[in-house]
Amino acid sequence: MRILFLILSGAVSGMAYAAYDYPIIIYLSLIPFFYIIFDRVQQSSAVKMYGYGFAFFYPYYLAVFHWFVYQYPLDFLGFSKLQSVGYIFLAWFGVSLLMTVLFSFVPVCLYLTVRLIGKRNMLCPLLASCFFCIFEWLNSKTFMAVPWARLALTQQNNIFALQTASILGSFFVSFTIAAFAAFAAYALLIHKTDLRCALICGLCASVTVTGNSAVGMVLYNLDTTGQDGDVITVSALQGNIPSGDKWQDNSSYKALSTYVDMIYNESKLYNTDVFVIPETAIPVTLDYYLSYTDTLKKAAKDTESVILVGAFDVDDEGRSYNSIFVFTADGELHERVYNKQHLVPFGEFLPFRSVLEKILPMLSDINALGEDIERGEESVVFNTESGNIGSLICFDSIFELLAAESVSNGAELLAISTNDSWFLDSAAIYEHNGHAILRAIETRRCVIRAANTGLSSAIDPQGQVYASLAPLLTGAVTTQVLLRNDITFFVAHPNLFIGLCIAFCVITPCAYKGIPLFKKLKSKYASAQKI
């Protein structure tokens, strides 16, 4: 029965990401998970605790990544229908499994800590919440990182709950969600044996949520720093070119023509200062297509605007990059190029290629370029006539440190170019945009997001989406944005909260072991002094 409850708790918690219009779901759906973990933490073994974690996190991630099925069919990669089904299920179940293998250690860490402490007590909810956040953080540190499902993402429409991310980051928001559920679960577990402790835990659960929202409301209303900055007009262009058409013969020229026409049309209507064009919107190595470069230079000069365009770049050793090129208002190509730093595993590169190609040869074709993309090594801030623009590409936007680094380096505006066409109008589109909301709040920067087939959006520094274009439509999001140069506490100290979580989880068992030992040694020393 425990396993069944864990499976149901995991599945509902995973579905909470798609049901972001109902932010309360995740607060409630995590309670059974924590209840069972707390109930068994003293009676079970490390292996059983790992099993409990697996029973929760596998359905959790299967529910989170359900939108993998929207990739079907992958005929533009040359896959048959059977191969497409095979790849999609391999990606869906495989990525979910990778995440589960890591996160199943959350209950194990709690179990080991409780053993060091000696018994289960009121610190368990805090420890469990800290471990949950630590593993969210660890999930962003591997070369195959897919830190998509952070608890904070479920609150993208609960704007006050997110505001504390400007101080301690989105991990703190995740912590408040986990802490509410953990304290509530512990209160339910012990209410018959220790009513006083249960009431305290219930109070802690309530204060965690209401306190975070109250502070968030204050931060939201008092955020006036940088409001006197320059205001510019930006356009996020959504060409709505499906993945199946993007890689066809002569598609690059058609895409170029589509976006250049949109640039001229929007410029006539709004006198746009900055145009943001999606990830690999021009699917060629731009250095090899001088006529394309000349066309974009002319468009920038004619419209007196800055143009950020996604294409491929290549270095002197022939390695390919997913990049953003910038054309300045005087019709020149900016000297700097931004190369995507976090690549999508099994999409832009094949992990363990030499092994997997032998086992599943079809995986060698998963990248439309036919080769692995190289990852960029640094953030780039483009100094332009219209301000300092920090660029992120697609998957980059789910990593909070990249946006923080860009702002720390002087970015006054964050521009995200992405291609979510694989996922049509599924939950993945809206969840990905939700990560952009988190980046806006953490950095207190306007975010302009251009997506190939949507969702394109403009997000203010408080995380409000104030202009957007729905998926699978052709058009532009044109609006005014505020340039800011202030630095949030989170940007200045991006790892502080995780450091505090780690310190708490280390110091707590040490204190429980160390204090009795210290008293024992002190007693022995006092006895020796008397002798």
Looking at the structure, do residues 130 and 257 belong to the same domain, yes or no? no
Q: Is 240 left (phi over 0), alpha (psi -120 to 50) or beta?
A: left
465 within some domain: yes
Sheet holding 320-327, edge to edge: 338-339, 320-327, 306-314, 274-276, 231-238, 475-482
Most confident range (mean pLDDT) of 141-150, 177-186, 284-293 is 177-186
For the cut 70, the answer to whether the pLDDT of residue 305 exceeds it is: yes
Q: What is the pLDDT of residues 435-444, one digit of tens each?
A: 999 999 999 9
Q: What is the pLDDT of residues 293-302, one digit of tens each?
A: 999 999 999 9
Contact 37, 168 (CB under 8 A): no
Compute the average pLDDT of residues 45-58.
96
431 within some domain: yes
Q: What is the pLDDT of residues 63-91, one digit of tens each?
A: 999 999 888 877 766 778 887 888 888 88
Looking at the structure, do residues 334 and 205 belong to the same domain, yes or no? no
- The closest alpha carbon to 263, from 254, 278, 279, 274, belongs to 274
**In terms of pLDDT, which residue wins out, 515 or 385?**
385
For the cut 70, the answer to whether the pLDDT of residue 257 exceeds it is: yes
503 within some domain: yes
Which range of residues forms the domain containing residue 303? Answer: 231-341+376-491
Looking at the structure, do residues 399 and 453 belong to the same domain, yes or no? yes
Q: What is the pLDDT of residues 488-502, one digit of tens each?
A: 999 999 999 999 999
Q: What is the pLDDT of residues 147-175, one digit of tens each?
A: 999 999 999 999 999 999 999 999 999 99
Looking at the structure, do residues 480 and 405 belong to the same domain, yes or no? yes
Whole-angstrom distance, CA of residue 103 vs CA of residue 176: 18
Band of pLDDT at residue 370, cut at 50, 70 and 90: low
347 within some domain: no
Task: Give the pLDDT confidence score for residue 247 in this predicted structure.
Answer: 67
Band of pLDDT at residue 518, cut at 50, 70 and 90: very low
531 within some domain: no
Looking at the structure, do residues 241 and 200 belong to the same domain, yes or no? no
DSSP code of residue 18: T
Q: What is the dihedral of CA 70, 75, 77, 80, to 10 degrees?
A: 110
Looking at the structure, do residues 143 and 292 belong to the same domain, yes or no? no
365 within some domain: no
Whole-angstrom distance, CA of residue 166 vs CA of residue 35: 31
Looking at the structure, do residues 472 and 500 belong to the same domain, yes or no? no
Task: Give the pLDDT confidence score for residue 512 in this predicted structure.
Answer: 79
29 within some domain: yes
Listed in sequence order, the residues at least 6 apart from 191 whose beta carbon sits closer than 8 Å to its beta carbon are 198
DSSP code of residue 388: E
Q: What is the pLDDT of residues 441-464, one digit of tens each?
A: 999 999 999 999 989 999 999 999
Looking at the structure, do residues 316 and 461 belong to the same domain, yes or no? yes
Band of pLDDT at residue 32, cut at 50, 70 and 90: very high
**In terms of pLDDT, which residue wins out, 341 or 369?**
341
Q: What is the pLDDT of residues 312-365, one digit of tens each?
A: 999 988 889 999 999 999 999 999 999 999 888 777 776 666 666 666 666 665
Looking at the structure, do residues 485 and 502 belong to the same domain, yes or no? no
% of the chain at pLDDT higher than 90: 73
Tell me the CATH number at 244: 3.60.110.10
Task: Give the pLDDT confidence score for residue 480 in this predicted structure.
Answer: 96
Looking at the structure, do residues 128 and 165 belong to the same domain, yes or no? yes
Task: Give the pLDDT confidence score for residue 519 in this predicted structure.
Answer: 54
394 within some domain: yes
- Mean pLDDT rounded to a whole number for the chain: 90
Q: What is the pTM of this model?
A: 0.93
For the cut 50, the answer to whether the pLDDT of residue 266 exceeds it is: yes
Task: Give the pLDDT confidence score for residue 527 in this predicted structure.
Answer: 56
Q: What is the pLDDT of residues 110-123, one digit of tens each?
A: 999 998 887 788 89
Number of structural domains the chain divides into: 2
Question: For 212, what's the count of Cα atoms within 13 Å in the CB-facing half-sphere?
Answer: 29
Tell me the C-alpha to C-alpha distance, in Å, between residue 439 and each of 235, 384, 400, 442: 19, 22, 6, 5
Which helix or strand (DSSP H or E) is residue 25 part of?
helix 24-29
Pairing relationship of beta strands 413-418 and 381-384 according to DSSP bridges:
unpaired
Looking at the structure, do residues 294 and 332 belong to the same domain, yes or no? yes
Contact 276, 235 (CB under 8 A): yes
% of the chain at pLDDT higher than 70: 90
Looking at the structure, do residues 332 and 385 belong to the same domain, yes or no? yes
